[in-house]
Amino acid sequence: MAFTFGTARAIVESSFMPLSCRCSHESSSARIRIYDAATGEPHLVVAGISIHRLNTSHEIRKLVGELRYELEFCAPQLNRIPRPLLKKGPVSLQGL
């Protein structure tokens, strides 16, 4: 089943609570910004993601997993994110 960008965006944006996440797209690529809602401080910004990559539940789950990995192990700001706050587990597709 193919997802619209709006549906994919809702899934991705809800996958990083308590951090905030915003997805936007221009033409055929998406930009994802994960940040602290209270301060506005960005923790991870990724641009140039093909929107075709957000068409299926498998691809969305894979992208969320990659972003979680980047947050946990690669983002230089990670030392400011307490590990218990990073949401783990499966990406929820219920209600969509």
pTM of the model: 0.75
Both tokens of 1, joined, read 């089943």
pLDDT at residue 48 in the model: 92
pLDDT at residue 82 in the model: 46
Beta bridge partners of 32: 23, 46
* Residue type at 30 in one-letter notation: A
Domains of the chain plus CATH, in order, are: 5-81 (3.30.160)
pLDDT digits (tens, 9 = 90+) for 25-63: 988 899 999 999 999 999 999 999 998 888 899 999 999
34 in helix, strand or coil? Answer: strand
Would you place residue 76 in the very low, low, confident or very high pLDDT band (cuts 50, 70, 90)? low
